Amino acid sequence: MSQIRHEPIAPTRTQRLAPGAVIDAHRHDDHQIVYAGRGVLAVTTGAGSWVAPGTRAIWVPAGTVHAHQAHGELELHLVGLPPTEDPLDLDTPTVLAVSPLLRELIVAYTRTPGDDTPERARLRGVLLDQLRASPQQPLHLPTPTAPVLKELCDILRADPADGRTLAELGREVGASDRTLSRLFRGDLGMTFPQWRTQLRLHHALVLLAEKTPVTTVAHRCGWSSASAFIDVFRRTFGHTPGSHPTG
């Protein structure tokens, strides 16, 4: 992430981005809540990537160097909060569940960013209360630092449908499955199957934002059947991919 832009204040606003559009690496002195009212948003840092559909928002702590990428027609809602106002007490980017009420609060609050009326202050207070009550979601795809693990993860990023076992992939990168298993746990904090599932779900969200049929998404992401994909998707997001809100 070279050429990092420093924006002292994280602006509160609504912004529309075309499919594939990127907001380059930057950081704020303020915290930021990033929410895609339409489309799917990917936030990337040096530690990994987070993907948020319309039922999720991303908390970006103050000082975090991050970049945004749009998948599908993106309607981006950004809420800036000063470092002294931290309702979540989180020091790393985190995906949060967005209830219907929280969604409406975020949309309403970002619609009139210059308004400083008492009504808006009360709206902000309810928004912060709802954020505190929002469950965290395990939708982080960490980036490896070990060279051999990075090589393996790059292979799977290029083709999430690659169904080879860890031992088979290990022969390609020159490491045993035992060594790779240890690296996944130590470097990424998850097992190989957990990381691969996260990768496939991230890729599935992008394809769904591009209006790809569910059966095609399942095939491209490496699930054995559409029903297997739908089951994992429902358990992760609380609804089926066919009813997934992409705009």
pLDDT at 138 over 90: no
Q: Which of 106, 140, 174 is the last residue of a domain?
A: 140
pLDDT more than 70, % of the chain:
96
> Cα–Cα distance between 139 and 145 in angstroms, integer?
19
129-144 exposure pattern, b = at least 16 Cβ within 10 A, e = fewer: ebbeebeebebbbbbb
CATH of the domain at 65: 2.60.120.280
Among the ranges 1-15, 84-98, 218-232, which has the highest mean pLDDT value? 218-232
In which element (H, E) is residue 203 found? helix 192-209
Predicted pLDDT at 198: 93
pTM comes to 0.80
Question: Secondary structure of the chain: what % helix, strand, coil (to 5)?
Answer: 40, 25, 35
Average pLDDT along the chain: 89
Domain that includes residue 172, residue range? 144-243
Mean pLDDT for the stretch of residues 178-182 = 96
| Count of domains forming the chain | 2
For residue range 47-92, what is the model confidence (pLDDT) as tens digits? 888 888 878 899 999 999 999 888 888 899 999 999 888 888 888 8
**Are residues 82 and 161 located together in one domain of the fold?**
no
**Are residues 224 and 136 located together in one domain of the fold?**
no
**Are residues 116 and 198 located together in one domain of the fold?**
no
Q: Which of 85, 91, 63 is nearest to 131 (CA)?
A: 85
DSSP 8-state class, residue 18: -
> What phi-psi label fits residue 39: left (phi over 0), alpha (psi between -120 and 50 degrees) or beta?
left
